[in-house]
Structures are given as structure tokens and as C-alpha cells.
């Protein structure tokens, strides 16, 4: 089998929000760009985002990017890099206005401006009271945004390779990224994309958990490819459990429901968040709310026959508001919980939602790895943005609506950086001589394997292990066992056997290749989580409790640092957190409460 | 946990090994946690991994898993298992070429979508902040922008079956009206010119299959009627 080579200036892997935003920059700059996606662009998981995108437009009340920055640093439990956070919060207004100009159908205020609603952890005046910062198109913001950006790319004549799966990153002997190998699903052909810039915008990996709001396609392909190519993964112990997934189904119910006045109640009908976050209450940050809910359930105040969920109540809201601002949520509740939220509360549980960590980048979207002398060096030709990247703006816990902002700001900055780096018009670096053989042999080995594990079995093993050993609350002994287990499961994931050998639209093969990516993410998560012996943000351990010396279990003396996991030998390194913003005073360390 | 057995008849065709399509009879155990057809399909795939279909978000917003279910187009992830007549007959969307099993070639569908210039056209220099639009003007876009491009509607439309290359189809026309209805768009004349043709718009005979099958409850026929009204109005 001959493997053809296609040459582009730039290749973007992933056509969700971050990929499409990068593509606009590259296409409008006139660069020859290929965008690869496992699914038609508007089917990417950005489409499922609901509640909004943060920007301090101040359309309904006074707001300021400095307040947004403060909230984001605090939300991150001080693990976010303050240079990147300043950059993101400052750029927010510009990128949201861009979307409006692309035609995104935002809801409107009476005076015709973009409608904004309150969201968890977003406050005015440095943490004082909730502020309307989330720019929304009903509760379908991600859908409206993704379609608007796809449409803008149609206008810009971006070249898409739809239903192609990237297989591996190709680096040359100097470590520069020179392309990727990819599989065309319809034909089973493998092709090498030779490029001067490769931008990863492959999204999250929530499918490592058994209970997840994430789409089937969220299998951490970019992270798997990066890890196999020797790039470390940053802060992978930090996973966000969204407070309100539909109990049983896992489907997301936006925090915007609480932004519009929704209240969480336990079996006694009590508004329990008043006890955990007296100021922000139901609009405290997601890690705080998820832990409160889990505690309520654990202490026997859960609802239902098995007392295993709590209720999200909006029955006190005007039905007209629900129909206007939360129509999608009503649809989802009826479809997946069997309740009409106008009349009955929705059963919800904390559900795996977002990966704060990822491929380490700076705020310009360039991938940066340790240089071996205590600093960072840029990987030439390699960029990453969106959920697959770690800039790091979310640190130990992401604020709601900052994910859509992240993919806009860093999708754009990664695209701009690539345009900047390609300006010189230099020739492509040479592909390694074995690039074609490597891609071919991986598929051939999978096709030929006999007596291996089924994809279904391996995936069950991964997601059960992660769910049981690295959930909302973490325990020293469970983490230790989890590391041993996941290394056992890894053997299964590297020994997959598929029955389907067809060249045409072989979904079994695609799922097997995805499983090889999932296992890398799972290992990175479990090993990084076991290693971090403190509680911070979404990572809370029983052996790092709340004490006077370490409030909330957070230990800044030893653990105010980013984790870097290397696939090779499961090695862990740490790097400092950037506490110096670009132009303003740092947000000083303090104990986090809402 | 109580389980029950469900019977399925699934259209199978793999051009790599089959000479012609066939129907596969297969059953699967489902439990009370399996609410939707996609849940059953996931279990069926664990049993026979060669069954090929598209799926992603599993909550009715990405538009991947459209198929013909007991004779009617719909999304597997939004179709309740409860009440489905058995054996559940699963076929690819009608009217488009089949690539494999339940996966159709959507090239023609997207070609028509792209043909209506599905993007905002406004040649004024963009202002520093957002363009203003009143809540009432914004309301005009409701029922239009929510389309997920699943193709349930166009592939249920006899006019699209006969002329997929010439008739834009309900999904594309819904998108066309979405931009015509947007106060920020300046290309009304150009957009209407683009549809002024015996086929592109006027092949819609208001059969309303599109409305009947839309999993998002949208009404392409209504939007098409409004485009026709705009056509008439510009001559009076």
C-alpha cells in the first residue's frame, strides 16, 4: 500500500470551536490550510455548550476585565498562569464581538446589545456579588457559535477534510513537528499531511470516565498523539465534574439554569448551598458545588429511591422565562429525565465534564516543553488550543463560560502565531524517512492481531477504573490502587483485536485507535493525581484535609506548581506557576471561599 | 435490574465485502437505563462491532445519528425505545447514496446547504462593538438558527429525492431564510436571485414531510413560504 503525501502550509486537527477559530485566521491570511475532523465540523462537541461565553462587555451592569481576571485566578485556586489569564480576559470583548460580526445570533437586551446572564464564580468588584458576564444565545450558545464559525469558514473557503482521523504526530530529528498521519474513514486510506505548522484543536477526553457529559468523539486524540510523540501533558489530575448532569443519562444541564434563578435542593427540600457557600450560594464555583452535592448524597440527604441524586428546581421561575432563556434545557429534561422542569425539579448528579489540563502551551498557542535547564522551549511547528491545550488559564478548576472563551482567544492566538511563524515563506522541513512505515505498521498490527481484547472490554475497564479511583473525592489508597490498575488496563489497550477488517467506514478500527488515545489520558490523570499530595480546586484528597495550616487542604509551599507527565517511564516533573500578569498587579494568594 | 430482549432488523451493506445489501436480524438485552435507540445501538455494537453508524453527542444537538427508524427519519439518540414496534427496522436515510450500513454519503446535502451562501453578508466596516438588533428582530431567527443539519428533513422530501442536484431542499432553504430574516444581513436581493429558479425554491410543493420528521421541531415549510412571499413582494 502506497501512502500519499499532501503538502499544506498548515494543518489543523479538529474542527470544533478552537480549530474553526484558528482556521479563520489562517484562511483569511491566505495560507494553504487543511482542517481535519472526525466529524462534520458542526457536529464537534462545542455544539453542546449551553450557557454562554464570558466577556466583560458590561451590557447590563458595570463590569471590568480585571474583575474577570480576579475571578478566573481565584476559580483556578491560583494554579492558573496569570499572564495567560490576563491575556484571555482582556481579549474576551474583542473575540465575542467578532462572533457577533460573523452573524452569531446572540440573545439581545432591550437596547439591542448582546444579552448577558450571571454564572458560577463570576463576580463584580473582586468577588463581591454575582455579575452578568455570560454572553448567551438562549441555552444553545455553543451551537450558535459553532455554526457561525463554520459559516465564516465557508465564506473564507477553508479546505476541510471531513471524517478523517489523525493518527500520529510526525517530528523530525530535531524535534520539530513536520506533519501528521491520518486515516480517511470512508476509504481506509492513510495519508501523510506534510506541513510547516500543525495546530491541535482536538478537544477533551471526558470519555475516560464512565459518567460523562462528553460526546462519544471526545477521546483525547490530540493528547494521545502528543504523548506518543514525547510531549508531556500538563495538570492532568484536574478534571471538572459539572454539578448538573442528568442523573443516569449524564447529559449536561447548563449552570445557566442556576444563573437564571435555579436552586439545588436535597431530599429535605433544603437549599443546601447556603451552608457551603453563604455568599454565592448556588452560583459558587463548580468544584465547590459538586463537592457539596456529593457530600449531601453521602450523608443520606440524596433524593429518589436510592437517595443518589439531588434536585435542580426552577418551578418557581416564570414559564415564559424558561421557554425564552432555557428552551433547550426543557427539551433535554423531558427527553432524558422524563420531567418537565416547569412543573417538576430535574434530578441531577455531578458528572465528568471538562479537562483542565492538556498539551502545555503559552498564551500565544505555541507548545512549550521543559528545556532541561529549568525553563521552557517552544516545539517548532506545533501549536494547540482549546480543551486539548493547557495555557494554563483554568488551573485547578475552570469557571463556567471560560471554556468557550478559551477556545476563541487561544484558537485565534494559535492561528495568529502560525501566520506569524510562516511569514518568512521558508521551505518545509524534510519528513523523516520512516514516516510512512510508522503509520502503516500501526494499522497493520491492529488488523493482524489475534487473541486480543475487544475494544468494548478495554473501554469498560478504562472508564470503570477512572470512575472508581479518581472521582469527585479522592482517597490515597484508591489512587494508589488506581495507578496499579490503570497500568494493567494499559496492557489490554495495547492488545486490541478487531473483528471488522473492512476498508470502508470501519468504526471498529476508529474506536480501537481512539482507545489507544484514551489510555494515555487515563494514565496521565491517575499518575498525576496520585502524585499531587494536596487538595486544590477539583483535586481533593482525604489525606489533605482542611486544617489551619493548610486551609481547604491547599499547600502552596510544596504544591503551587504545574504537573508535567511524560509517557516515557510515566515520569513526572513540575514547573512553576506564572504569578506575574502582563501589565497589572498579581492576584495575591489567599484562601478560597464563595 | 430487569432486562428485556429487543428485536432489530438492520440494513447492512459493506461494499468492501458484500455484493448487495441485506437485512440482519439481531436482538439485544436492554435494561431500564437504556432509554433511547442509541443506547440499544451501542449495546448492539458491543455484540457485533461491524454495524456501522454515525453518532456523537447522544443528546440531539450534533445531528450525527439520523437514520430511518421503522419507516420514519429521526435521530437515534432522541428516539425512545419504549413504544418502538419490533422488530425495529433500521435503514439509512433514504435518497442519498449508501456508503456502508446506516452511513449515507451527505455530499449532495451539504452542497445544497453551501449553495445558499450560509453566512452573514454585511459589507459595512464592522463597528467596534456589536451590531445592534432589537429583541423582536432577534426573535425572527428563532425556529431557524437551531437547525442541526442532520438531513432528516431533506431526505424525507420527495422533491429532494427526485432532484437532489437542483432543489435546495428544506434544510438549505431553512438556512436561506435564516439569513434573509436577519436584520444584520444586506444580501437580500442576491439571496432571492440565487433562489429564483423553477427548481431551487419552487420544487417545494408543501408536502410537509420535513415538518413531520424534524427532531428539533422546526418548520422548514413555513420558512419556504416566507421566502416565496418575499419573492412575490419584490415584484409588487
Query: What are A9-37's pLDDT values in tens digits?
Result: 999 999 999 999 999 999 999 999 999 99
pLDDT 10s digits, B96-130: 999 999 999 999 999 999 999 999 999 999 999 99
Give the SS3 label for residue A234: strand
Domains annotated for chain B, with CATH where assigned, are 3-104 (3.10.20.30), 107-235 (1.10.1060.10)
Picking from B59, B65, B107 by the largest number of A CB atoms within 10 A of its own CB, the best residue to mutate is B59
CB A430 within 8 A of CB A178: yes
The answer to pTM > 0.90 is yes
Cβ separation of B57 and A332 shorter than 8 Å?
no
Residues 6+ apart with CB under 8 A from A375: none
- Residue in A439, A492, A506 with CA at minimum distance from that of residue A463: A492
CB contact under 8 A, B15 and A249: no
**Shortest CA distance from B42: residue in chain A:** A456
Question: Block means of pLDDT (10 residues each) for chain B, length 236 residues?
Answer: 94 96 98 95 97 97 98 98 97 98 98 98 96 98 98 98 97 98 98 96 96 98 97 88
Q: Which of A39, A216, A508 sits opposite B49 (nearest CB)?
A: A508
- Among B17, B62, B133, whose Cβ lies nearest the Cβ of A215? B62
Mutate to test the interface with B, among A114, A216, A251, A328 (most CBs of B within 10 A): A216
Q: How far is B208 from chain A (nearest CA, A)?
A: 23
Q: Which residue of A has its CA nearest to B130?
A: A97
Mean pLDDT of chain A: 97
Question: Would the pLDDT of A240 be above 80?
Answer: yes
Q: How far apart are CA A417 and CA A175, in angstroms?
A: 19
Contact yes or no for B50 and A42 at CB 8 A: no
Q: Shortest Cα distance from B178 to chain A (angstroms)?
A: 10
Q: Of B150, B152, B191, B198, nearest to B173 (Cα)? A: B191
A-B CB pairs within 8 A amount to 150
Q: A151 — contact with chain B (CB < 8 Å)?
A: yes
**Per-residue pLDDT, A195:** 98
Left, alpha or beta for A421 (phi > 0: left; psi -120 to 50: alpha)? alpha
- Per residue in A176-197, pLDDT (tens digit) is 999 999 999 999 999 999 999 9
CA distance A457 to A141: 36
Q: How far apart are CA A119 and CA A97, in angstroms?
A: 20
* Closest partner CB to A154 (pick from B46, B101, B119): B119
Burial grade of B42 (CB within 10 A; 0-12, 13-18, 19 or more)? middle
Joined grid coordinates for residue A387? 480543551
- Measured between beta carbons, the chain B residues lying within 8 angstroms of A249 are 35
| Cα(A139)–Cα(A311) distance, integer angstroms | 19
Residue A1: which pLDDT band, with cuts at 50, 70 and 90? low
Closest residue in B to A49 (Cα) is B61
Which residues of A are the active-site residues?
Answer: 286
A248-260 mean pLDDT: 93
Q: Give the closest of B60, B106, B141 to A105, CB-based.
A: B141
| Nearest CA distance, B5 vs chain A (angstrom) | 20
Report the residue from B16, B56, B184 with minimal CB separation from A216. B56
What pLDDT shows up at residue B1?
73
Nearest residue of B to residue A45, measured between CA atoms: B57
Mean pLDDT of all residues in A133-148: 97
Question: In chain B, whose CA is at the least distance from the CA of A50?
Answer: B61
pLDDT (mean) for A239-261: 95
B60: three-class secondary structure by DSSP: coil
Question: Min CA distance, A83 vs chain B (Å)?
Answer: 25
CB contacts of A42 in chain B (<8 Å) are: 62-63, 148-149
B52 with A97: Cβ contact below 8 A = no
Q: How many CB atoms lie within 10 A of CB A533?
A: 14
Judge residue B90's burial from the number of C-beta atoms within 10 Å of its C-beta, 0-12 exposed, 13-18 middle, 19 or more buried: buried
Average pLDDT over residues A567-580: 98
CB contact under 8 A, B61 and A143: yes
Please tell me whether the interface predicted TM-score (ipTM) of this complex is above 0.95: yes
Q: Which of A154, A248, A454 sits opposite B114 (nearest CB)?
A: A154
With cut-offs at 50, 70 and 90, classify the pLDDT of residue A403.
very high
Q: How far is B26 from chain A (nearest CA, A)?
A: 17
Q: Is A195 helix (H, G, I), strand (E, B) or coil?
A: strand
Tell me the C-alpha distance between A553 and A546, whole Å.
4
Chain A, residues 81-140, CB within 8 A of chain B, namely: 97, 100-103, 105-114, 137, 140
Amino acid at each position: 500500500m502506497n501512502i500519499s503525501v499532501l503538502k499544506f502550509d498548515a494543518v489543523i486537527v479538529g474542527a470544533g470551536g478552537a480549530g474553526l477559530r484558528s482556521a479563520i485566521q489562517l484562511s483569511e491570511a491566505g495560507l494553504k490550510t487543511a482542517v481535519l475532523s472526525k466529524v462534520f465540523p458542526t457536529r464537534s462537541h462545542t455544539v453542546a455548550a449551553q450557557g454562554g461565553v464570558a466577556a466583560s462587555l458590561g451590557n447590563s451592569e458595570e463590569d471590568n476585565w480585571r474583575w474577570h481576571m480576579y475571578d478566573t485566578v481565584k476559580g483556578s485556586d491560583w494554579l492558573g498562569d496569570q499572564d495567560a489569564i490576563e491575556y484571555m480576559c482582556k481579549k474576551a470583548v474583542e473575540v465575542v464581538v467578532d462572533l457577533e460580526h460573523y452573524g452569531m445570533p446572540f440573545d439581545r437586551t432591550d437596547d439591542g446589545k448582546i444579552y448577558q446572564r450571571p454564572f458560577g464564580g463570576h463576580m463584580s468588584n473582586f468577588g463581591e456579588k454575582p455579575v452578568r458576564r455570560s454572553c448567551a444565545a438562549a441555552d444553545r450558545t455553543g451551537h450558535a457559535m459553532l455554526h457561525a464559525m463554520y459559516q465564516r469558514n465557508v465564506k473564507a473557503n477553508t479546505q476541510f477534510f471531513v471524517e478523517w482521523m489523525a493518527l500520529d504526530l510526525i517530528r523530525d530529528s530535531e524535534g520539530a513537528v513536520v506533519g501528521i498521519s491520518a486515516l480517511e474513514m470512508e476509504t481506509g486510506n492513510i495519508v501523510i499531511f506534510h506541513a510547516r505548522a500543525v495546530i491541535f484543536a482536538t478537544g477533551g477526553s471526558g470519555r475516560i470516565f464512565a459518567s460523562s457529559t462528553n460526546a462519544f468523539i471526545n477521546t483525547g486524540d490530540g493528547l494521545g498523539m502528543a504523548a506518543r510523540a514525547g510531549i508531556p501533558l500538563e495538570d492532568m489530575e484536574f478534571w471538572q465534574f459539572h454539578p448538573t448532569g442528568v442523573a443516569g443519562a449524564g447529559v449536561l444541564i447548563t449552570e445557566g439554569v442556576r444563573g437564571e434563578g435555579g436552586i439545588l435542593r436535597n431530599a429535605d427540600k433544603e437549599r443546601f448551598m447556603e451552608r457551603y457557600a453563604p455568599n454565592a450560594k448556588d452560583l459558587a464555583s463548580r468544584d465547590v458545588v459538586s463537592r457539596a452535592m456529593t457530600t449531601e448524597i453521602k450523608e443520606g440527604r440524596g433524593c429518589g429511591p436510592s437517595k443518589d441524586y439531588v434536585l435542580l428546581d426552577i418551578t418557581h421561575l416564570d414559564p415564559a422565562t424558561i421557554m425564552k432563556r432555557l428552551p433547550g434545557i426543557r427539551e433535554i429534561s423531558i427527553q432524558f429525565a422524563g420531567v418537565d422542569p416547569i412543573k417538576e425539579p430535574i434530578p441531577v448528579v455531578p458528572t465528568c465534564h471538562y479537562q483542565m489540563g492538556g498539551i502545555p502551551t503559552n498564551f500565544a498557542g505555541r507548545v512549550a516543553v521543559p528545556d532541561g535547564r529549568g525553563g521552557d522551549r517552544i516545539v517548532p511547528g506545533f501549536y494547540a488550543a482549546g480543551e486539548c491545550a493547557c495555557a494554563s488559564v483554568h488551573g485547578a478548576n475552570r469557571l463556567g463560560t471560560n471554556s468557550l472563551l478559551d477556545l476563541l482567544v487561544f484558537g485565534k492566538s494559535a492561528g495568529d502565531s502560525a501566520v506569524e511563524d510562516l511569514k518568512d515563506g521558508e521551505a518545509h522541513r524534510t519528513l523523516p524517512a520512516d514516516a510512512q512505515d510508522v503509520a502503516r505498521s500501526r494499522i497493520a498490527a491492529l488488523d493482524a492481531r489475534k487473541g486480543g481484547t475487544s475494544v468494548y472490554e478495554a473501554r469498560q475497564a478504562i472508564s470503570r477504573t477512572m470512575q472508581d479511583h479518581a472521582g469527585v473525592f479522592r482517597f490515597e489508597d484508591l489512587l494508589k490502587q488506581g495507578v496499579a490498575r490503570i497500568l494493567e488496563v494499559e496492557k489490554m489497550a495495547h492488545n486490541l483485536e478487531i473483528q471488522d477488517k473492512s476498508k470502508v467506514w470501519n468504526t471498529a478500527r476508529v474506536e480501537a485507535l481512539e482507545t489507544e488515545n484514551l489510555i494515555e489520558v487515563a494514565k496521565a490523570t491517575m499518575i498525576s493525581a496520585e502524585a499531587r499530595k494536596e487538595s486544590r480546586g477539583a483535586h481533593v484528597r482525604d489525606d489533605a484535609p482542611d486544617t489551619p495550616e493548610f486551609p481547604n487542604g491547599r499547600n502552596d509551599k510544596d504544591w503551587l506548581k504545574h504537573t508535567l507527565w511524560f509517557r516515557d517511564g510515566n515520569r513526572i516533573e513540575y514547573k512553576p506557576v506564572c504569578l506575574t500578569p502582563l501589565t497589572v498587579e498579581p492576584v495575591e494568594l489567599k484562601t478560597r471561599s464563595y | 435490574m430487569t432486562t428485556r430482549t429487543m428485536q432489530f432488523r438492520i440494513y447492512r451493506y459493506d461494499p468492501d465485502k458484500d455484493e448487495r445489501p441485506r437485512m440482519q436480524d439481531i436482538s439485544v438485552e436492554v435494561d431500564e437505563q437504556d432509554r433511547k435507540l442509541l443506547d440499544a445501538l451501542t449495546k448492539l455494537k458491543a455484540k457485533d462491532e461491524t454495524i456501522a453508524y454515525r453518532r456523537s453527542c447522544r443528546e440531539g444537538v450534533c445531528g450525527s445519528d439520523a437514520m430511518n427508524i421503522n419507516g420514519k427519519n429521526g435521530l437515534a439518540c432522541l428516539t425512545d425505545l419504549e413504544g418502538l414496534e419490533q422488530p425495529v427496522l433500521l435503514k439509512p436515510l433514504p435518497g442519498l447514496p449508501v456508503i456502508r450500513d446506516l452511513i449515507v454519503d451527505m455530499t449532495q446535502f451539504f452542497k445544497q446547504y453551501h449553495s445558499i451562501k450560509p453566512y452573514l453578508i454585511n459589507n459595512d466596516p464592522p463597528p467596534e462593538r456589536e451590531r445592534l438588533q432589537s429583541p423582536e428582530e432577534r426573535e425572527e431567527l428563532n425556529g431557524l438558527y437551531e437547525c442541526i443539519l442532520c438531513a432528516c428533513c431533506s431526505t424525507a422530501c420527495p422533491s429532494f429525492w427526485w432532484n437532489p442536484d437542483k432543489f435546495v431542499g428544506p434544510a438549505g432553504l431553512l438556512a436561506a431564510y435564516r439569513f434573509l430574516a436577519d436584520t444584520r444581513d444586506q444580501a437580500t436581493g442576491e439571496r432571492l436571485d440565487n433562489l429564483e429558479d423553477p427548481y431551487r425554491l419552487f420544487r417545494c410543493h408543501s408536502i410537509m414531510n420535513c415538518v413531520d420528521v424534524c427532531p428539533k421541531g422546526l418548520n422548514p415549510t413555513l420558512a419556504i413560504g416566507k421566502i416565496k412571499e418575499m419573492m412575490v413582494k419584490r415584484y409588487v
